[in-house]
Amino acid sequence: MIPSFKSEFRKLLTVRTTYGISLVSLALTAFFCLYVFGYKGNGAGALTALSFHQLLSDGASIGALFGAIVSALLVAHEYRYNTIMYTLTTNVHRTRVLAAKFGAIVIYAVLFGLASTLVALGSFCIGVLLRGASLPYQDFNVWLDTARLIFSFIAYAIITGIIAVIARSIVVAIVALFLLPTTIEPLLTLLLRDNGKYLPFNAINSVQGAMSSNSALTPGAAFWVSCLYLAIGLFVAWLLFTRRDAN
């Protein structure tokens, strides 16, 4: 199992797109939080007691999104360049291969998501100082909010990884990542009305609780609904990964 983990981390850290996407994401986060929100004072830069709440929510969204993109690349690149044949030849236990992939996905998503959040908070504070303002006392629970952020990073990365395993396509995985939470689920919510809160991304976003102004589920209920979706998705991905031909 350990060699499989090392192999997946090696794939993740030796691909230039990993660093490119990560740096672009951090640069965009720093620019918007420092200049737009902090220095100009738009949106979250309004300097209220909940400024950090909004920034944590924004940082979670950006970090989760770009972390999920890298997760999709880690899985789908194998099929695009047909390196999956070498991976499965080296380790004939497909369950171990899949577990190693998702293990690497989760670790990267958490580390990158936390880095994105720290950059967001640090850049915002610098922007506030540059405009000569002072930040009010911030009322938030560090440990609870951090745990909620970590769950969001993990959930987005796993869902995107599941889509990549099922579709075996980078394009499908990334398009689904952008369309599902922003277009498809809002349309389904119009149809399902109150039951739309049980849709996957709505549930994941509701885990943030107080950090999300439109949470329909309580954080506890949203957590268990999200876990149910993740468990079903992982089972389907495992079933297809172990049964389908690698080609």
pLDDT at 211: 45
What single DSSP character describes residue 40? Answer: S
Q: What is the largest CA-CA distance in the chain?
A: 62
Q: Taken in order 153, 154, 157, 162, is the CA torsion positive or negative?
A: negative
Q: Which residue has the tokens 């236990």?
A: 93
Phi, psi of 214 (to 5 degrees): -115, 30
How far is it, in rounded angstroms, from Cα 88 to Cα 90? 5
8 A C-beta contact, residue 37 and residue 125: no
Q: Taken in order 46, 178, 116, 28, is the CA torsion positive or negative?
A: negative
Tokens of 51: 């400024």
What single DSSP character describes residue 199? Answer: S
Cβ neighbours of 132 (radius 10 Å): 6
pLDDT at 83: 82
pLDDT at 84: 82
pLDDT at 210: 46
Quick one: 231 exposed, middle or buried, by C-beta within 10 A (0-12, 13-18, 19+)? exposed
Q: Which amino acid is at 222?
A: A
Spans of all domains in the chain: 2-176
pLDDT at 49: 58
How far is it, in rounded angstroms, from Cα 71 to Cα 104? 9
- 247 residues of the chain, pLDDT tens digit each: 777 778 888 888 888 888 988 899 899 888 888 887 778 776 544 566 566 777 777 666 788 888 899 888 888 888 888 888 877 777 778 888 899 999 999 999 999 988 988 888 888 888 888 887 777 777 777 788 888 889 989 999 999 999 999 998 889 999 998 998 888 988 998 888 888 889 999 888 888 764 444 447 888 889 999 999 999 999 999 999 988 776 6
How far is it, in rounded angstroms, from Cα 75 to Cα 31? 30
pLDDT at 47: 67
